[in-house]
């Protein structure tokens, strides 16, 4: 089954760009998320973390 899928995907022209694009999107998302976590203000993080308990 996997051999059939692999052979079918190899016949599509330009298919090799999709894994590169998905890796770039994945990497960019987590770099931006990592940057946001370390630059977020402590007051905001504290306020948001207590929201579920305010009821």
Q: Is the pTM of this model over 0.75?
A: no
Does residue 1 lie in a domain region?
Answer: no
Does residue 42 lie in a domain region?
Answer: yes
Does residue 36 lie in a domain region?
Answer: yes
- Taking phi over 0 as left and psi of -120 to 50 as alpha, with beta for the rest, 14 belongs to left
Q: What distance in Å separates the CA atoms of residue 39 and residue 27, rounded to the nearest whole number?
A: 18
Quote the domain boundaries for residue 34.
15-53
Does residue 39 lie in a domain region?
Answer: yes
Does residue 2 lie in a domain region?
Answer: no
Does residue 5 lie in a domain region?
Answer: no
Does residue 4 lie in a domain region?
Answer: no
Helix (H) or strand (E) holding 33: helix 17-39
For the stretch 21-49, pLDDT in tens is 999 999 999 999 999 999 989 998 888 88
């Amino acid at each position: 089954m996997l051999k059939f899928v692999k052979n079918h995907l190899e016949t599509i022209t330009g298919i090799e760009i999709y894994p590169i694009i998905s890796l770039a999107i994945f990497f960019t998302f987590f770099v931006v998320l990592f940057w946001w976590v370390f630059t977020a203000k402590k007051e905001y993080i504290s306020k948001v973390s207590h929201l579920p308990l305010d009821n």
